[in-house]
Chain A
Amino acid sequence: MKKRNYILIAFLVIVVGAYTGYKYLYKNHRNIETEEASVKVEAKELVGMFASDNTERILNKTVEVTGVITEMDAQSATLDEAIQCTFNQLPQGLEINKKVTIKGRCIGYDDLFEIAKLDQCSLTHYP
């Protein structure tokens, strides 16, 4: 009887251990769309935050930016010539000169074009 209990406990430990190990190794990617934005600002302000060396608050964080669309291509929309927002799939209804609010993950500042870049974007608001 005692021996059976030990075997059972050992078996449970192995199963739970394997499960948590697997969960840790193969955890899901972040879901930016459902994450709460840590910073909500105007497009130009976000770029200013890179200049003021305050990058820890925004780099690799989910941010929400508001601005007027100044440029568009197949995958992305640029707000106020300052932030390029890349979508997994470009939502319908985006147009140049429209003011929108977009949520995405801030991946950094691009010195070549002097813009900040967001990926995994979603549209949170447009009038």
Chain B
Amino acid sequence: MKMKYIIVCLSFVFTTLVVAQEKYSTKNGTIVFEASVPSFEEVKAKNENVSAILNAETGDFASLVLINGFRFKVALMEEHFNENYMESSKFPKAIVKGKLKDFSASKLTEGTLNYTLEGTITIHGVTKPFETSISISKKGDSLLVESQFVLNPTDFNIEIPKIVSNKIAEEVHVSAKYSLLR
């Protein structure tokens, strides 16, 4: 009876260990986006509080960014971004969820490997299918994950008023960078 109890306990400990080991995550990832037009004020913001989780067993990846956390150089631009364009009080977060194709944790090396992420992206309450290339390299215990992609505000029902539309690029270049820890 006692033996059984110990085995149950041990198996519980081992399963939690396994579960804990297969996930890499961060709460301090960085996303920078830029939609500048030459010779106008720079339209660029940075968020250093991005969360991300990679399940190394399955290749499942998720990243969540809080819209209010984007910081601009110009305070008024930050205000307009939140209140008028992203409506961050109504839609406070953007999420990417997907799966890395042909991902295998055992193949990760110090060199950079490229994977395709297939999934969905949700911004401004609109969910769209999403595909991007993601590079991963191993650095000690952590995984350095990087991706660049282009988004189109009109795809997410984000209206840019005519008066400023010539100062904001139609294509928004996004770059994400995470250092995921086990």
Residues of A whose CB lies within 8 Å of any CB of B are 24-30, 55-56, 59-60, 73-76, 84, 86, 105-113, 115, 117, 119
Contact = CB atoms under 8 A, between A and B. Distances in A.
Given A55-B89, A55-B92, A117-B69, A112 B62 contact: yes
Given A76-B28, A113-B27, A86 B75 contact: no
Given A76-B28, A84-B49, A119 B69 contact: yes
A101 to B, nearest CB: 20
> Secondary structure at chain B's binding surface: helix, strand, loop or mixed?
strand
Interface of B: 25, 27-28, 48-49, 51-53, 62-64, 66-69, 74-76, 78, 82, 88-89, 92-93, 95
B66 A108 contact: yes
Contacts of A24: 76
Given A55-B89, A59-B89, A60-B89, A112 B68 contact: no
A120 to B, nearest CB: 9
Given A55-B92, A107-B66, 18 more contacts: A25-B74, A26-B74, A26-B76, A55-B89, A86-B48, A105-B68, A107-B49, A107-B69, A109-B92, A110-B64, A110-B66, A110-B93, A112-B53, A112-B63, A113-B27, A117-B49, A117-B69, A119-B69
